[in-house]
Chains A and B, each alone.
Chain A
Amino acid sequence: MTPGLSLIYILYCKPQTPSLFGEIMKAPPVKKKEYSLRVEDREPGDVTLFVSGRIALDDLNDFTSDARSILQNKPLKKLMVDIAGVNYLDSAGTLALFQLEEEQTARSASVTFHGVTDEAKGILNLLDKKAHHIPPLVPERKPPNILEQMGEATRLLLNDFFEVLSFVGELILALISSLRRPRSMRWNDVLYYMKRAGVDGLPIVGLISILMGLIMAFMSSLQFKQFGANIYVASLVAIAMVKELGPIMTAILVAGRSGSAFAAEIGTMIVNDEVNALKAMGFEPIQFLAVPKLLATIIVVPLLTLYADLFAILGGLVVGVVGLDLTAYSYIQQTREGIAVFDIVASLVKSSVFAGLIAGIGCQRGFQVHEGAESVGTFTTSAVVSAIFLIIVADSAFAIILHYVR
């Protein structure tokens, strides 16, 4: 772990530590060495190194440096390493012995091991002392240079565009075919996803909308009060919510709640081979998995939008009645004058389109998952981000189209 990460780990993962700085500043405990090294010169250049005790993973650094320093100043021709006194040796300990042998051989000493017990022999034979000289079969992955990255990003963007296009085509065909043969539609799934995307979303959509109504009414009332135009708070809340914010806010919430869930669900099914199982049984995955989600979302999002509009108006009404001395009747009357049936219908059409985008992109990103947990995460994020982007783009288009239609 890098020092930076360690610090984050200490700060975030150990909140129960009484003193954070005590923990960071404390010197690491001095570990008792469980091995001992002794050198005996038999003749000049002919040395025996007696190793005893326990050589394990924890001692690897110390053992290597101790052995190196103890032999450093000795002229060596022959080194006998006596390990008869070693009572515990694991693979890391064996590696330490191999490393000792390699280092001293590099100093042109001939190294031999003595006092090798049967247990030690087993492990010395099992491990490959030349393993670290084996070159990797594929080179280490290096991040590509900036040009490569740009090229790759462009290629991915184009690919993505065509994939989305072809998915939309398939989805529309699957939807048409399902609608022409309603018996083939998985209506139970449609109901289930209507509950997941719609009913389960009611509390959060309601809460956020009422808060938005309150905030808009309160902020605008501060300005309107100065001109004695309190009553227009109602129009502002109604027009802003019904025409723009209601559909957009609801769509963004549904993208966050359900678009991501669709992508994660389908992605995980791909990772677990469930989508292949569907294909193998002769089912069309898009028709089986995506169409019910799409239909359910297209049904519930406009309803959620209406619900959001109502709650925002309610929020505005509270500010109007409590803070601006308006009567509830006059507030509602003003609201009704502010919006036309055309606005409501346009807002419902808009939110159906948003719903299609959310479910479509959510399912499409799910189907893009190849393998692994990371891929599911990437595409789930992408489902939400792409959906929000497309919602805003579509909304801009609607702004222009509705201007001319009206």
Chain B
Amino acid sequence: MNKKPIIQVENLTTRYGDTTILENVSFRVSRGEIFMLLGASGCGKSTLLKHLNGLLRPSSGRIIVNGTDITAADEETMRDIQRTIGVLFQADALFSSMTIFENIALPLYEYTDLTRGMIDRIVKMKLALVNLPGHENHMPAELSGGMRKRAALARAMALDPLLLFFDEPWAGLDPVTAAELDILIRSINTAMGTTMVIVTQELASIFSLAQRVIMLDKSVRGIIAQGDPAELKEHSQDIRVVNYFNRKATGGDEGGL
């Protein structure tokens, strides 16, 4: 990948008290790629993702997002950066007291001076994009899990972000809905050039979508492999990587559960 990086992580280290979660992690995400963070439960994937959008600050190291070092950014700069990042949380995180329209329109009202009519059009367009046309007056509780996830994706995309972060987007979805989400993610990435950073364990989606992955492991508190997932599956010498991609138990007590 010789494209310009949109995210650069340099020697990132995170500690909670005496426990080191990540140590000296460095990698780059290129503009417009679908990039996935893999690894067994508890290896620090979600923590890493939270660092990338500024929800957590690292103990040391630098994270450069779209040219700005977010580890040194003040609140206002951070707000500007966060505006360019859409996040889809694992538990959809739709505001349960608001309708779907209000959920998606919230960032538009906050960050732009668009008229109600224009916001209405944008929301309807986003809902059609995620295949939920006509659902603007529904409450989140009235939608199924897959629909809620898509509505949350529409909200994450409300401000046309440069980057979309997904935390386990396929968790709890049936195979058909998961495949539909794959198609949606791919078409958004292709048509709009949005860079996607996805934390996942879903092997099928990893192989069908990811252009590049990094795999984290608890034992080294960092990256044990990176590259194209199909190539890693075929050629990696690391037993942890091979076991992961072949869905094989390690036999030790360091298993995923």
Known contacts A128-B129, A137-B135; is A90 also within 8 Å of B160 by CB?
yes
In angstroms, how far is the closest chain B Cβ from the Cβ of A97? 12
CB <8 Å contact, A374 and B96: yes
Contacting chain B: which of A73-81, A119-127, A233-241?
A119-127
CB proximity to B under 8 Å, residues A115-159: 119, 122-123, 125-128, 131-132, 134-141
CB <8 Å contact, A135 and B118: no
- A58, A132, A137, A141: the one within 8 Å of B112 (CB): A58
Report the bound CA distance from A58 to B80 in whole Å: 13
CB <8 Å contact, B157 and A132: no
CB <8 Å contact, B122 and A95: yes
CB <8 Å contact, B109 and A1: yes
Report the bound CA distance from A60 to B112 in whole Å: 10
In angstroms, how far is the closest chain B Cβ from the Cβ of A144? 16
CB <8 Å contact, A90 and B192: yes
CB <8 Å contact, B192 and A135: no
Residue of B nearest to A124 (CB): B191
CB <8 Å contact, A127 and B160: no
- B126, B138, B141: the one within 8 Å of A137 (CB): B138
CB <8 Å contact, B97 and A372: yes
Report the bound CA distance from A64 to B157 in whole Å: 21
CB proximity to A under 8 Å, residues B99-137: 99, 109-110, 112-115, 118, 120-122, 124-129, 133-137
Residue numbers in B under 8 Å from A57 (CB-CB) = 112, 159-160
CB <8 Å contact, A91 and B126: yes
Judge whether B188 is part of the interface by a CB distance below 8 angstroms: yes
Residue numbers in A under 8 Å from B59 (CB-CB) = none
In angstroms, how far is the closest chain A Cβ from the Cβ of B144? 14
- B109, B115, B133, B188: the one within 8 Å of A131 (CB): B133
Report the bound CA distance from A141 to B126 in whole Å: 21
Judge whether A87 is part of the interface by a CB distance below 8 angstroms: no
CB <8 Å contact, A137 and B137: yes
In angstroms, how far is the closest chain B Cβ from the Cβ of A93? 8
Q: How many residues of chain A have a CB within 8 Å of chain B?
A: 34
- A1, A128, A374: the one within 8 Å of B125 (CB): A128
Report the bound CA distance from A272 to B147 in whole Å: 20
Summarize A's interface: helix, strand, loop or mixed.
helix
Judge whether A99 is part of the interface by a CB distance below 8 angstroms: yes
CB <8 Å contact, B113 and A61: yes
Report the bound CA distance from A372 to B110 in whole Å: 23
Residue of A nearest to B131 (CB): A128
Judge whether A373 is part of the interface by a CB distance below 8 angstroms: yes
Residue of B nearest to A129 (CB): B125
Residue numbers in B under 8 Å from A374 (CB-CB) = 96-97
Judge whether A92 is part of the interface by a CB distance below 8 angstroms: yes
CB proximity to B under 8 Å, residues A235-265: none
Residue numbers in A under 8 Å from B193 (CB-CB) = 119
Judge whether B250 is part of the interface by a CB distance below 8 angstroms: no
CB <8 Å contact, A91 and B141: no
Judge whether B187 is part of the interface by a CB distance below 8 angstroms: yes
Residue numbers in B under 8 Å from A100 (CB-CB) = none
Residue of B nearest to A125 (CB): B191
Residue numbers in A under 8 Å from B97 (CB-CB) = 372-374
Residue of A nearest to B187 (CB): A126
Report the bound CA distance from A123 to B191 in whole Å: 5
Residue numbers in A under 8 Å from B60 (CB-CB) = none
In angstroms, how far is the closest chain A Cβ from the Cβ of B142? 8
Residue numbers in B under 8 Å from A125 (CB-CB) = 191
In angstroms, how far is the closest chain B Cβ from the Cβ of A7? 15
Residue numbers in A under 8 Å from B208 (CB-CB) = none
CB <8 Å contact, B160 and A123: no
CB proximity to B under 8 Å, residues A367-385: 371-375
9 nearest CB pairs, A to B: A372-B96, A122-B191, A131-B128, A90-B160, A126-B191, A374-B97, A128-B128, A137-B134, A131-B125
The chain A residues found within 8 Å of chain B, CB to CB, are: 1, 56-58, 60-61, 64, 90-92, 95, 99, 119, 122-123, 125-128, 131-132, 134-141, 371-375
* CB pairs A–B below 8 angstroms (17 shown): A1-B109, A57-B112, A57-B159, A57-B160, A60-B112, A60-B118, A90-B192, A92-B122, A95-B121, A126-B191, A126-B192, A128-B128, A131-B133, A132-B120, A134-B133, A141-B137, A373-B96
